[in-house]
Structure 1
Amino acid sequence: MPENRLDIDLDFTFTDESGAVTTGRAQAAGTEVTVSLDGLAPLAGGGMPSVEAIKPLADFLARKGLSVTVAGPDGNVVSLGAVDSPATQRLVTRSPHIKLGKLGSLLPLVRQGKRRPRGGMALLPPVTPMPLFPTVQRKVVRRITTTHYARGGGRPRLIFVQDADSWTGQVPREVALTDDVTTIGSSPESGLVLEGLEELHAEIRHDDQDEYVLVPHGPVSGSVARSGASVLRTGARIQMGQWCLAFFREEFADHGRPFGGRSGGEFAYERPQLDPRTGTLERDSNEGVT
């Protein structure tokens, strides 16, 4: 025999503030109580407590081994207490002692809840009671976006790379890329003068897509293309003669792939992607640009 037993057979009538009348019946013969309503207006009214408010009641009923089920014209709406609540519903109610009914029986409650007076408290959570249905959509196509940071932001710069044998402990030299075109070579007129290179060895161009592109005129190697233009991403290394430079730009402003991140990730290679901003097919940074 259960510790607690209820024997109930009660008919009742409920009249809300607008004068609408709802009839119902409460029945029990043991530990399970069923409250059947001919309409769901009382549940959508301003006097119904929220899920957070009924958690203590649900926990109390569970400790006593009792359950209370509220049913409407289309089936069970909610059960409290000693119930078997699915794990997916616990993500919504945050309680193992609250079990929501079938979606078909909840829809009339949701529709009426949208029309209830301001300030009323809902029986259901503020979001849809079954979030897995609207959110788990396999064919959703989301538009790829890009960084919204200002043009030229993220402090784009070149840093002189030093190995362990040549490093003196001082901070490596940096060259800020503030111009639309930064020339690199041995010519005194170059933006970055480096001995031992051709007079015009390379250029770094800041293009209309807010990208920094290396255009070589002399031999280059490293993580950039040996011939043709290369879009520079954070960490890219450029070897020119005896000089090794690394490009850096703060991640929040580095467009990267897909736009708004950096090149890299699983397998360290990314398939060509179409940039919706320009219509250009952008390849992995190691391949250059088309």
Structure 2
Amino acid sequence: MNGFRLDMDLDFSFTDESGAVTRGSARAGGSEIRVAVDALESFSAGGIPSLEEIRPLAKTFADRGLTVVVDGPDGHIVSLGAVASPASQRLITRSPHIKLGKLGALAPLLKRGRGPARRFSLLPPQTPLPLMPTVRRSIVRRITTTHHTRGSGRPRLIFVQDSASWNGQVPREFTLSSEIVRIGSDASSDVQLAGLEGLHAEIVHNADDEYVLVPHGKVAGSVGSTGESVLRTGARIQMGQWCLAYFREEFADHGRPFGGRSGGELAYQAPQFDPRTGTTERDGSRGIS
């Protein structure tokens, strides 16, 4: 039921176990009750209710349209009931009916070491206002890699056809099931393609479970034109009139840096050093427009 009106003009004092005297007042002239105390030491020694106890009380005040404002010697501490609590504070109090006051006024209640009976914290220990994340910025995490078995993820080459020449058929695929796959025009090639050199390129499955393109003829596309290139999902290999794309299921693609992947990451990846091999691996998507 809403519409409560209170009229109050009360002065009070109490003495704690150490003999310290705390004085205060309670004033009301409508729906707001303002409580003020001249010291907080007695409270921080062990008499403050927990947030779990305050939440239902604050909701009761709000249901009745009442607001209780508590002030300390350093300013406003907390308001309960019909208040406009900021979203950032709700993350702390887990209640829309509790509005925290000034950090300076709250500080005496947050101090530690005032006795084993202390049960109170309106804030998580040592968390300032406004709410700030507690982040360790210097953590060095060890990069891991996939745990799937060697050669898994169905590594394969897919013959790419552009929109002008595509006939609507599923592109041809060649599964990389051998440790070395030879590509060229020779009859002995595993992938025989007319118009290429006899041995135009090789794809080698190395000891790190990576598939590496070793060019012998002219190679373009998203791989390096010279030297070996570690293949990543989505990499394109252009040899003469032939364009092939490399694919391996993501769960088994070691990726960069040897635990992620380059294909589909929507951003250029800077060269990264792989301590397993002592080599610097470049972005597998380089050259893709």
Q: TM-score when scaled to structure 1?
A: 0.68
Give the count of matched residue pairs. Answer: 274
Distance 2:200 2:265 in 1: 31
Q: 1:217 to 1:60 in 2, by over 3 A?
A: same
Quote the residue 1:99 is aligned against.
Answer: 99
Asked if the contact 2:221/2:238 (under 8 Å) is kept, the reply is: yes
**CA offsets per residue over residues 10-46 of structure 1, 9 Å max, x none?**
424375xxx5566352411321321426235645748
Q: What is the correspondence of 1:160-179 to structure 2 with a 5 Å cutoff?
A: 160-161=158-159, 163=161, 165=167, 167=169, 173-176=173-176, 179=179
Q: 1:208 to 1:32 in 2, by over 3 A?
A: farther
Distance 1:44 1:185 in 2: 84
- Report sequence identity in percent: 43
Structure 1 residue runs without a partner (length 5+): none
Q: 1:150 to 1:258 in 2, by over 3 A?
A: closer
Q: What SS does structure 2 have at the residue aligned with 1:56?
A: helix
Asked if the contact 2:10/2:26 (under 8 Å) is kept, the reply is: yes
Quote the residue 2:153 is aligned against.
Answer: 155
User: 1:127 deviation in Å?
Assistant: 8.4
User: 1:61 deviation in Å?
Assistant: 1.8
Greater radius of gyration (CA): 2
Asked if the contact 2:89/2:131 (under 8 Å) is kept, the reply is: no
Q: 1:24 to 1:166 in 2, by over 3 A?
A: same
Asked if the contact 1:223/1:238 (under 8 Å) is kept, the reply is: yes
Which amino acid is 1:167 matched to?
Q
Structure 2 residue runs without a partner (length 5+): none
Asked if the contact 1:92/1:129 (under 8 Å) is kept, the reply is: no
Distance 2:37 2:154 in 1: 68
Distance 1:257 1:34 in 2: 60
Q: 1:235 to 1:38 in 2, by over 3 A?
A: same
Q: TM-score when scaled to structure 2?
A: 0.68
Quote the residue 1:66 is aligned against.
Answer: 66
Q: 1:9 to 1:54 in 2, by over 3 A?
A: same
Q: 1:255 to 1:223 in 2, by over 3 A?
A: same
Quote the residue 2:33 is aligned against.
Answer: 32
Distance 2:221 2:236 in 1: 5
**Which moved further from structure 2: 99-108 or 274-283?**
274-283
Distance 1:69 1:25 in 2: 13
Distance 1:81 1:224 in 2: 65
Q: CA RMSD in A?
A: 4.4
Asked if the contact 2:145/2:254 (under 8 Å) is kept, the reply is: no
Q: Tell me if 1:110 matches 2:107.
A: no
Q: 1:217 to 1:79 in 2, by over 3 A?
A: same
Asked if the contact 2:89/2:100 (under 8 Å) is kept, the reply is: yes
Which amino acid is 2:5 matched to?
N
Q: 1:233 to 1:61 in 2, by over 3 A?
A: same
Q: 1:14 to 1:85 in 2, by over 3 A?
A: farther
Distance 2:193 2:206 in 1: 27
Distance 2:263 2:97 in 1: 47
Distance 2:37 2:178 in 1: 73
Larger relative helix fraction: 1
Quote the residue 1:56 is aligned against.
Answer: 56
**CA offsets per residue over residues 22-79 of structure 1, 9 Å max, x none?**
635241132132142623564574872325x433322332343322233445443322
Q: Tell me if 1:11 matches 2:9.
A: no
User: 1:82 deviation in Å?
Assistant: 2.7
Quote the residue 2:270 is aligned against.
Answer: 272
Q: What SS does structure 2 have at the residue aligned with 1:165?
A: coil
Which amino acid is 1:130 matched to?
L
Q: What is the correspondence of 1:199-210 to structure 2 with a 5 Å cutoff?
A: 199-205=198-204
Asked if the contact 1:230/1:287 (under 8 Å) is kept, the reply is: no
Asked if the contact 1:13/1:21 (under 8 Å) is kept, the reply is: no
Asked if the contact 2:89/2:99 (under 8 Å) is kept, the reply is: yes
